[in-house]
Structure 1
Amino acid sequence: MVILILLLCIVTLIVLITWAKLNTFLSFLVISLMAALLLGLPLDHIVPSINKGLGDMLGSLVIVIALGSMLGKLVGVSGAAQKIATSMRNAFGEKYITWAMCLTGFIVGIPLFYNVGFFLLIPIIFSVSNRYKLPLVYVGIPMLASLSVMHGFLPPHPSPMALQIQFHADIVKVFVYGIVVAVPAIVISGPLFARTLRGMKTQSVIAMSVQDINDDKLPGLWNSILSSLLPVILIGASSLVVKFAGDNVTVKSIAGFLGDANIAMMETIAIATYTLGIRQGMKLTGVMNVYVEAIREVSMILLIIGSAGILKQIFLDSGANGQIATILQGLNLPPLLLGWIIAAILRLCLGSATVAGLTAAGIIYPLMRQTGADPNLMVLAVGAGSLFCSHVNDTSFWVTKEYFGLSMRQTFLSWSLMETLVSVIGLIGVLILNTIV
């Protein structure tokens, strides 16, 4: 009966989002109430469950995601992303241009959300394509592969951060394992896969120029790279200090505090406000306006993440989680593989990678607890599944099609196949890591 209720809730969620076009946040609220009533949760327990689910999820995420969006916005507005991209292009030259695009997406993709990164870097793709007379899709796919992998696999992006909180994973291990899995996924689905697209001729009706900011007004290359990667550097350095501090409790305590994800993001924003803002001639009020705009862009993502936490809490408080775990165990599939499959199916149905990942997390969480599956690898397995085969119900599919001037068939053979490769290679990497660690 519980599985039937779960399936009914998922189908209804899909219908509300895809057919009725209801806002995703409102859809999750409706489904959460529906699940609570069908699972027999007492009426006086429903509102406390909603409050707890929303609070527990957002309480650990709001600071990281909000500050992460601020950093990403400043990296774009200041010209740091443009500086990294043009420097990579000039350093690699035409022969290795796809690797330059790939590396640019990798570096810039750490602080930038996918959609922001796409619209920020698409002029670079047009510029490189025009300069070397290469097909847009051949130049662009390596960069998009990097951006997609960063968005789906690595903190501080919203979905991996939310999954890390839901599964009680270690953020440092998630990042380290994520890099190990991400590199082969990016290389194979980016520059190597792009070789098959070199003959794909396209005709984009969009004209763009990369020269949004004059070169003399751009920040320096190392300033741009270090400012973008500072959260990773701070958290990683703190982890190393804690590991090698021995019995020095004071040093461990200070390093642990400074390397906490929230504190590291606060430190980064304080430094980047100067290095990418004031030092580049921006007024403090101008930098603050950039941050305000960044929060507007991420507000709905925060609400969606919080509402997914509500659905998970309803499953926990109703006792359905234990029954779901027992049933899933009967499928005799490895938990990591099952998490990937559930996320991939939801991705195919819903389109949104974030929604697919968070919904899958609520389903697979009880099984993960019972089987003792590695929570750090489960974050990556679900993240990989959530990227599977983007198609017509995903806005990124249409954005890629229109900007690159692709036909439907070409979009499936380039963008959709690239996302599928990222997902499958990510799963393979997770399963291999699981046998090692």
Structure 2
Amino acid sequence: MLVFILILCIGTLILLTTWAKMNVFLTFIIVSIMAAFLLGMPLEMIPKTIEKGIGGMLGSLVVVIVLGGMLGKLVGASGAAQRIATSMRNAFGEKYITWAMSLTGLIVGIPLYYNVGFFLLIPIIFSVAARYKLPLVYIGIPMLTALSVMHGFLPPHPSPMALTVQFQADIAMVFLYGFIIAVPTIILAGPIFAKTLKGIQSHTTIKLTAEDIPDEKLPSLATSILSSLLPVLLIGVGSTVATLAKGNPAVQQMAHFIADPNIAMVGTIIIATYTLGIRLGKSMREVMDVYADAIKEISLILLIIGSAGILKQVFIDTGVSDQIATGLQQLNMPPLLLGWIIAAILRVCLGPATVAGLAAAGIVFPLMQKTGADPNLMVLSVGAGSLFCSHVNDTSFWVFKEYFGLDMKRTFLSWSMMESLVSVLGLVGVLIINMFI
């Protein structure tokens, strides 16, 4: 009966989002209430579970995700992303241009959410392809690979950040493991895979240019990179100092404070407001307008994340989590692999990677607790699975197809194949690290 209810809930989630085209936030709430009814939760508990689920999920995420969105928006509006891309292109030259595109995507992709990064960097892809007279897909895939990997693997992006909270993982270790996996994944699914795409010609009617901001008005390369990576640096340095200063409680306490993601993001925003805003001649009002636009863009993401927390809370409060874990354990499959498979199946069915990852988390969480699987690696396993095989039910598939002027077959051979490679390579990286810890 439990398996039937679980399948029914997931099936309803899939149908409402794909067939009925219902808002994902509303869908998660409806399915969560349906699950509560079917699992026999007392009526008076359901409103409390909804509040607890959405509050528990968003309580530790709102500051990081909102401030992360603000930073990403400012990195784009200030021209920092343009400076990084231009500098990488000039440094690598035509021979290694795909490597330059990957490195740009990696650096810019840390603060920029995927959708923002795509529309911000797509003019750069067009201009580089035109300058060197190279195929658009060959130039674009390496940069988009890096953006996709950052989106699926590394905090403070919404999905890995939400998974880190759900699985009670260590954000510094998630980032460290994620970065170790991300680099070879980007190389293999980016520049190396792109070599097989040189023969794919685009027939796009879109004309874009990258030089929106004159060079003299751009921030320096050092300022651009440091401002983009500052949250990572603060968390990394703080965590390292805290580990080394075990004999000094005062220093350790201060280091933990600095390494806290919320504090790191607040400090970053304060500094970036000056380095990428005031210092470049922008008024405080202009910078605040950039931040206001960022909040509008990520509000739906926050609601989706919060509503996904409700479904997980229903499973916990009804005691179903333990039964799910017991049932999954009987499959005799490594928990990290099982987490990846569940997320990959939901990705194929649901479409958006963030939705697939969050939906998988509610199922995988009890399994992780029962088996003792490393929560940091489980974040990355589910994150990798959530990127598997983007196809027609994923908005990113159609955006890529139309911007690059491809037919369905070539979109599958380029975009869908790249996403699948990223997903599988991510899993391989997780399993390799798991062998050594």
TM range, normalised to the smaller chain?
Answer: over 0.9
Structure 1: 4+ residue segments shifted above 2 A: none
5+ long unaligned stretches in structure 2? none
Give 1:238-277 correspondences, 5 Å limit.
238-277=238-277
**Counterpart position of 2:191:** 191
* Deviation for aligned residue 1:184: 1.1
Shift of 1:199: 1.3
Report the alpha carbon displacement of residue 259 of structure 1 after superposing the two structures with TM: 1.3
Deviations 1:176-207 (A, max 9, x none): 00001111111000000000011111111000
CA distance in 2, matches of 1:158, 1:335: 23
Structure 1: which 5+ residue stretches go unaligned? none
* Equivalent in the alignment of 1:420: 420
Matched with 1:352 is 352
Aligned-partner Cα distance in 1 for 2:70–2:50: 28
Partner of 2:297: 297
* 2:257 maps to amino acid: F
- Aligned partner of 2:87 in structure 1 is 87
Residues 330-373 of structure 1: per-residue CA shift (max 9 Å, x gap): 11111000000000000000101001000101001101100000
Counterpart CA distance in 1 for 2:151 and 2:235 is: 18
Match of 2:112 in 1: 112
- 1:141-156 pair list within 5 angstroms: 141-156=141-156
**What are the equivalent positions in structure 2 for 1:108-257 lying under 5 Å apart?**
108-257=108-257
CA–CA separation in structure 2 for the residues paired with 1:35 and 1:117: 36
Could you state the TM-score of these two structures normalised by the residue count of structure 1? 1.00
Matched, 1:391 2:391: yes
Equivalent-residue separation in structure 2 for 1:175 and 1:76 (angstroms): 23
Q: Given residue 322 of structure 1, which amino acid in structure 2 is its aligned partner?
A: D
Q: Deviations 1:287-337 (Å, cap 9, x if unpaired)?
A: 001101100000000000000000000000001101111110111111000
- 1:293 and 1:246 map into 2 onto residues whose CA distance is 42
- 1:94-138 Cα shifts (integer Å, max 9, x gaps): 000000000000000000000000000000000000000000000
Q: Deviations over 1:46-78 (max 9, x none)?
A: 111110000010000000000000000000000
Q: Aligned partners of 1:17 and 1:138: how far apart in 2?
A: 33
Give deviations 1:188-233, integer Å, cap 9, x for gaps: 0000000001111111100011111011100000000000000000
Give the secondary-structure state (helix, strand or coil) at the position aligned to 1:43.
coil
Match of 2:331 in 1: 331
Counterpart of 1:284, as a letter, is: M
TM-aligned CA deviation for residue 246 of structure 1: 3.0
Aligned residue number for residue 404 of structure 1: 404
| Greater mean alpha carbon deviation, residues 202-211 or residues 91-100 | 202-211
Match of 2:287 in 1: 287
- Determine the structure 2 residue equivalent to 1:48: 48
| Identical residues among aligned pairs (%) | 70
Amino acid at match of 1:235: I
Q: Whole-Å Cα distance in 2 between the matches of residues 181 and 400 of structure 1? A: 25
Aligned pairs for 1:33-72 within 5 A: 33-72=33-72
1:366, 1:330 → 2: CA distance? Answer: 14
Cα distance in structure 1, aligned partners of 2:184 and 2:421: 11
| 1: CA distance, partners of 2:367 / 2:245 | 36
- Please state how far the C-alpha of 1:247 moved relative to its aligned partner: 1.0
- Distance in 2 between the 1:184 and 1:259 partners? 26
Partners in 2 of 1:397 and 1:259 — Cα distance?
36
Aligned-residue Cα RMSD (Å) equals 0.5
How many positions carry a matched residue from both structures?
A: 437
